[in-house]
Amino acid sequence: MFVEQGMYKLYNQLLLAETLLAARQDAEAHEMLAAVRRINPPMVQEFEDTGFRILGLGSRLTLDSTRLTEEVKPQRSRMSL
């Protein structure tokens, strides 16, 4: 039972990291990622491989050497002509 609770906590921390990245609070997000990485490095690696996305907030974030860059996807209009 404790293992399942721990996994939920780690997953929630990744969700928080994604939310912080979307809010452009990179330092806090990377502190959160470092905390999760100390416990479960493969979990963080998978999160990084998916472009720091679980919820799909904001634009897709990718690593560009030592800093994060954004790949902005064009927004589609909801109005049809």
Number of domains in the chain: 1
pLDDT (0 to 100) of residue 77: 41
Would 77 be classed as within a structural domain? no
Would 21 be classed as within a structural domain? yes
- Full domain range(s) for residue 33: 2-71
Q: Which tokens go with 10?
A: 């780690």
pLDDT (0 to 100) of residue 29: 92
CA 70/CA 32 separation, integer angstroms: 20
Would 66 be classed as within a structural domain? yes
Would 79 be classed as within a structural domain? no
Q: What is the pLDDT of residues 21-67, one digit of tens each?
A: 888 999 999 999 999 999 999 999 988 888 877 776 655 555 443 34
Would 44 be classed as within a structural domain? yes
Would 15 be classed as within a structural domain? yes
Instruction: Tell me the whole-structure pTM to 2 decimals.
Output: 0.64
Q: Which tokens go with 46?
A: 């998978």
